[in-house]
A = this chain, B = another copy of it.
């Protein structure tokens, strides 16, 4: 129990390191399985999950690690295209290991000098890419909580007393976001006491973008009802369709109505580093705050999320509690470097280092090449399936690296007018998903939205994929779905 750390590391870590390197060789090669699905009951038999009074032997421990690696999903595999994160950057991985070894918490300069300055540098550079020469920012434990920070800043900006007095006695505060926005807006609005009903869903158009006329209508209706509109959360890269809301038009509404403009660019913000694609976020510099997750399109490891704002002091004013045991003002150094009080977290993991190291290793140029490759692959995939029998695009012209489509098995082709066509098509995606999961050749998610039957979403963040991989994914659908 009280073992000597350096000796243990010298003896044992190489064994762990060996296992991990095997895992990589298996987990990132195309020939291997993305997943080795077993049911929960069976998995509990394979890996003894339970904690006991007695320690297990060192050998048993290594076996547990081996089985953990074996039965976990290989999110670094080229055909893990299931979520808005994937791949595993080796520089970033090295950075993550260094972070673990430092075991830091970033709240005061005194205990995290290097990481504090790295956060400052990364956040400043990200703000500069957004288009701001000043402002502030923080790392958040995920984009959902980053959006929650934005909501809190927005209402504090409207009514500063809300921090001390709460919402009690105030008018009903409402915010607006599109029906395709991420669910975290509703979730965090509920958590923050606003109520999920006070998140008003704005219609999207045929391309999945916020309908600004409808937004104007809804703002007027809310005011007529006596509510207080305080914020619009626009989305740059919606979760499913990858749509980019029209930021400049939305900004005009916000300006007229005195609302905070937040842009949830958690997913699509990566396009900002590309000269070719940053037009998708035209007007983002007019926003008050931006959520941008480097762990998504820029392929930093889970988890690396930021909230950026052009307002220099609001994060501190809105969130500070000035705890005397941690943020003493009689320290010998400049305590403006004790940044922890801007956060709702106290102890906080250093998510910056893995991203900083990766960015250093690649340069912004490297990030740009990475992003361009993702978009090119998505464009290639779109063209491959556009006219191919059995495939139908949900969006004819995807904007982001999401490509959404139905796979229509032979038995359903030409039957679009059958009364139960939609019902039958809706069942196809879960069946294909089960097959791909059990075989482990690929993982791609499906979903129904806006009343459409279940469809698949290819989503690309791994720039080591080639056009051959796009071809493979197409043919794999044909193989998995041919006899449905």
Segment of A81-89, A208-216, A307-315, A408-416 in the binding face? A81-89
Segment of A4-12, A246-254, A380-388 in the binding face? A4-12
User: For residue A88, which residues in chain B have a CB less than 8 angstroms away from its CB?
Assistant: 5, 101, 103
A199-219 toward B: CB 8 Å interface, digit per residue (1/0)? 000000000000000000000
Residue among A38, A67, A319, A326 with max Cβ neighbours from chain B (10 Å): A326
The interface size bin for chain A is 35 or more
User: For residue A331, which residues in chain B have a CB less than 8 angstroms away from its CB?
Assistant: 430, 433-434
User: Residue A346 contacts which of B49, B68, B184 (CB distance < 8 angstroms)?
Assistant: B184
Q: Are A16 and B98 in contact (CB under 8 A)?
A: yes
Q: How far is the CA of A23 from the CA of B10 in the complex (A)?
A: 12
Q: How many copies of this chain does one complex carry?
A: 2
User: For residue A103, which residues in chain B have a CB less than 8 angstroms away from its CB?
Assistant: 75-76, 85, 88, 93, 301-302
* Contact A144 to B105, CB < 8 A, known contacts A47-B117, A65-B357: no
User: Residue A113 contacts which of B37, B141, B187 (CB distance < 8 angstroms)?
Assistant: B37
Q: How far is the CA of A321 from the CA of B199 in the complex (A)?
A: 13
What would be 17 A-B contacts, judged by CB atoms less than 8 Å apart?
A1-B370, A13-B17, A13-B93, A19-B98, A51-B122, A51-B363, A53-B363, A53-B364, A65-B357, A68-B102, A85-B347, A105-B303, A110-B437, A144-B345, A190-B321, A332-B434, A349-B349
- Extra contacts besides A5-B464, A328-B447 (18): CB < 8 Å: A8-B90, A10-B21, A13-B21, A20-B97, A40-B337, A51-B364, A52-B364, A64-B360, A68-B114, A72-B104, A72-B114, A73-B112, A93-B103, A142-B348, A143-B347, A168-B198, A169-B172, A183-B323
